[in-house]
Every structure is written in C-alpha cells, then in structure tokens.
Amino acid sequence: MIWTLAILPLLLLFAGTPVFAVFLAGGVATFVLFLEVPPVALHQVMFGGLAQYALLAVPFFIFAGDLMSSAGIADRLITWVLALIGRLPGGLGVATVGASTLMGAISGSSTAAVAAIGRVLYPGLVRDGYGPRFSVGLVSSSGSIDIVIPPSIAMILYGAAAEQSIPKLFAAGILPGLLIALMMSIFVVAMAVHIGVPRRGGFDLRQFLTASFDAVPALFMPVFVLAGIYLGWSSPTEAGGFACLYAILVGRYVYRTMSWEDVLQSAARSAVLTAQILVIVAAASLFSWILTVNGVPHALTGLLGSFDLPPWGFLMAVNVILLVVGCFLDPTSAILVLTPLFIPLVKAVGIDPIHFGIVMTVNVAIGMFTPPFGLNIFVAQSVLGVPLATIYRGVLPFAVVQIAALLIITYWPALSLFLANAI
C-alpha cells in the first residue's frame, strides 16, 4: 500500500502532475487494489468532503477579492497607504508591506495581492534604489501576509477540516499577522538605511486627506465584514456574500470603474478559481479518508508517544515538516491532507487546536514564496517579468524574517489565543 499512498503520489508530483490528480490517482489506486468496499463509496467520500457549510465562504471571498481588484479598490488602498507612511525611512518598502496587510483584510488572496501590489509598487521600489532582487523578494513575500490576516481562505479550510470555529480562527490570526507585518517592516527600514535609499520628503497632510477621502469606501469594506462576524451579525459565509455585494456597489456606483460586464467577467474568473480549489478539496478528502481508515493517524499517534516529545518538540517537528511541504504543495492541498493527520496528535499532546491552526496557516503562508514551487514566485515572474533565479535569491532574506516570526507565534500561544478567547 505504501506504493499507492506515498511513492506513486511523489512520482506524479515531481513529474509536474496537477495536485488534485496526484491525490486522486493515489486514492483511487489504493481504493481499487487494497480496499474491500463498494465502488460507490469513492464518490460518496469525495462529494461528502464538499458538503460542508464552511466551504460556502470560499467562493464568496474569492469573488470579493477579484471584484476589489477589478473595481480599482486595491489601487486606492495602495494610494492611501503610500500617503500615510510612504515618507518614512524605507517608506515605499513599508508601504508595500502595509498594502499587503490591508488587502489581506479584504480578500485573503496572496496571489492577488502580489499581482496588484507588484504592478503598482515594484517599478517605484527599483527606482528608489532597493534593486530588482530585494524589490521582487519584498513583493513576493509580503503577499503571504494575506493568508494570515482574516478573512483567510486557508483558515476556512483548516476550520472545516479540523472542525474548529472559523470566527475564532479569524480572531486568532489578527495579532500574528500584524507581528509578521511589523517584523518585515523593521527589516525593510533597516535595509533601506543600510542601502542608502533616499527619503521622500515630509508628510503631506493635504495629500493624505485627499487619499483618505477617496479610500473611505474601500477602507470600510473590511470593517463591515469583520464587524459582522465578530459581533455575531453574520456567519463568515454571509459576511463573504456581503463583501461581494459591497464591492459591486462601490465599484459600480461610487467609483464608477466597473460595468456589469466587468462583474460577469469577475464572476467567471472566480468560478474557475473556486472550481480549482474545490476539486482539490474533493480529491484530498478521498486521500485523507483512505489514510484514516487504514489507521495512519492512529499509527502516527503511537509513534509520537514512543518518542515522548514535549509540546515544544512536537511543534518544532511540525514546523519543519510544514516548511518542507510548503516548498512543494499549495496551502489548500497541504492543509486538507495534513490537518486530519495532525489534529489527533495535537489533541494528544495538549495543544490548543486554534493556536495550532494559526501555526499551520503561517507555515503554509511562508510556503507561498519559498522555492522551488511557491505560487507567489510564479505570479511575480508573470506580472513583473523578473527571472526566477533573481526571485529565488530575493525571497530568502524575507523567509528568514518570517520564520523568526513563526517561532514567536509557535511558542507564544497567548498571541494567537488572546483575541480568540475574547470573542
């Protein structure tokens, strides 16, 4: 069975096979060759993996993020952040981090942030003297913050797989996300001073007020979405639907930058991306079910008990595993396959599943820009036209910074649980 559950998927993965096909091939081969169950169970397991109310939020937040980009909301947020902090030492670099954080509070799409922010800010970063390598590394790595700052699609998937409260996961991600943004900003300022990047004059109040007035409708979007969830007015799914409606109204009638044809095109793009995610969910559900019925989680729990690892040792081992997995798998696949394996171990060791969800989310977020297969790397290459070798070298310092933040988040549970326990 190890051939169909481990060796075959690895061979297909390294051969460049789509991830859903990797899981599906391994699962079906094991199902046919080793399991004595009716074939209809295969379809029931796959579709059963999709029959979760929490997953309804995924297409809404994808659609909201695409609408935000199409309506010019992202551009106005970037302009507002530049007006606020663009004149600090290393201001344009810090504004890149700030814009990514703010976009994460709306869409939760890392690749969308890299595309939107890279298109607007990358040329200015290079002109200011940061250099192509540092600039593309900053843009690629900043987008990963979007996965940690709520609303987060990765957290929705984890909550569905681990049967945990999604509002609590959203609340738990706020402070860790801000910590990552702060540490990246400090690193950017230090590098800007070291490189000798010139400052951009003083704070212009008039320009800031103009940018603020233009950005008010965009800035209220995350406020309404998150307030609705935390005040109990709406579920994450309902909040996602409201975000879509709000983005359409703002783009169509406030900014007047979006036609109904643009809305339909955005819906079509979002439908394709949603289908790509949900087919992975279905295939990963089959793969995880086969692992479970064959006693893999139970065997791992027994193996963990034989090592007698303390909680800190277990978390360190999980971080190493997830960082390696993140280099090869996208966050959706990593979360859906590994969460059912890790959750029994997490409970056995006595770690809070909400805290572990944030640790897992930060790990897969780092995987978004780590070589060789980080999705943000390929988005940056496509949008900015920078060679892969330059991007690989550029992201490494930021990977070190975010891993340092990961260690703080891992071994300081209160940072994640403070707001989660307060709601």
DSSP codes of every residue in 109-134: -HHHHHHHHHHHHHHHHHHTT--HHH
Residue 195 maps to a domain: yes
Read off the pLDDT of residues 395-412 as tens digits, 9 standing for 90 and up.
999 999 999 999 999 999
Mean pLDDT of the chain: 84
221-366-288-317 Cα dihedral, nearest 10 degrees = -130
Going by the DSSP 8-state scheme, the letter that residue 273 receives in this structure is: H
With bands split at pLDDT 50, 70 and 90, how would you rate the model's confidence at 255?
confident
Residue 251 maps to a domain: yes
Residue 4 maps to a domain: no
Residue count of the chain, please give it.
Answer: 423
Residue 12 maps to a domain: no
With bands split at pLDDT 50, 70 and 90, how would you rate the model's confidence at 286?
confident
pLDDT above 90: residue 354 = yes
pLDDT above 90: residue 184 = yes
With bands split at pLDDT 50, 70 and 90, how would you rate the model's confidence at 86?
low
With bands split at pLDDT 50, 70 and 90, how would you rate the model's confidence at 176?
very high
Peptide bond into 151 cis (omega under 30): yes
pLDDT above 80: residue 113 = no
Give the pLDDT confidence score for residue 207 in this predicted structure: 80
Q: What is the mean pLDDT of residues 233-252?
A: 86
Residue 312 maps to a domain: yes
Residue with the bigger pLDDT between 299 and 175: it is: 175
Lowest mean pLDDT among 100-114, 165-179, 228-242, 278-292: 100-114
Read off the pLDDT of residues 190-212 as tens digits, 9 standing for 90 and up.
998 888 777 766 667 788 888 88
Instruction: Name the region of 318 (left: φ>0; alpha: ψ -120 to 50; beta: rest).
Output: alpha
Give the pLDDT confidence score for residue 240 in this predicted structure: 83
Q: What is the mean pLDDT of residues 11-18?
A: 77
Two tokens, residue 114:
């890299």
What's the pTM value of the predicted model, to 2 decimals? 0.82
Q: Rounded distance, CA 121 to CA 114, Å?
A: 10
Two tokens, residue 371:
């070589």
107-111-116-120 Cα dihedral, nearest 10 degrees = 140
- Angle at CA 10, nearest 5°, toward 8 and 12? 70
Candidates 321, 318, 159, 328; CA nearest to 237 is 159
Backbone dihedral angles phi then psi of residue 49, each to the nearest 5 degrees: -65, -25
pLDDT above 90: residue 414 = yes
Number of domains the chain is built from: 1
The one-letter amino acid at 258: M
Give the pLDDT confidence score for residue 305 in this predicted structure: 65
Give the pLDDT confidence score for residue 413 in this predicted structure: 94
Burial of 265 (0-12, 13-18, 19+ CB in 10 A): middle
Contacts 24+ apart (CB under 8 A), 324-329: 325/367, 326/363, 326/364, 326/366, 326/367, 326/368, 326/370, 326/374, 327/367, 327/370, 327/371, 327/372, 327/373, 327/374, 328/13, 328/372, 328/373, 329/13, 329/19, 329/367, 329/373
Give the pLDDT confidence score for residue 297 in this predicted structure: 67
Q: Rounded distance, CA 423 to CA 414, Å?
A: 14
Q: Rounded distance, CA 136 to CA 142, Å?
A: 10
pLDDT above 70: residue 139 = yes
Residue 39 maps to a domain: no
Identify the top-confidence range among 67-76, 312-321, 378-387: 312-321
Burial of 283 (0-12, 13-18, 19+ CB in 10 A): buried
Lowest mean pLDDT among 75-89, 151-165, 274-288, 408-422: 75-89
Residue 196 maps to a domain: yes
Give the pLDDT confidence score for residue 70 in this predicted structure: 78
CA–centroid distance for 155 within its chain = 8
Asked if 44 contacts 34 with a C-beta cutoff of 8 angstroms, the reply is no
Residue 415 maps to a domain: yes
Give the pLDDT confidence score for residue 203 in this predicted structure: 67
pLDDT above 70: residue 380 = yes
Residue with the bigger pLDDT between 192 and 51: it is: 192
Give the pLDDT confidence score for residue 1 in this predicted structure: 66
Candidates 289, 380, 280; CA nearest to 330 is 280
Asked if 339 contacts 156 with a C-beta cutoff of 8 angstroms, the reply is no
- Angle at CA 316, nearest 5°, toward 314 and 317? 65
Asked if 379 contacts 114 with a C-beta cutoff of 8 angstroms, the reply is yes
User: Residue 219 is part of which domain span?
Assistant: 45-422
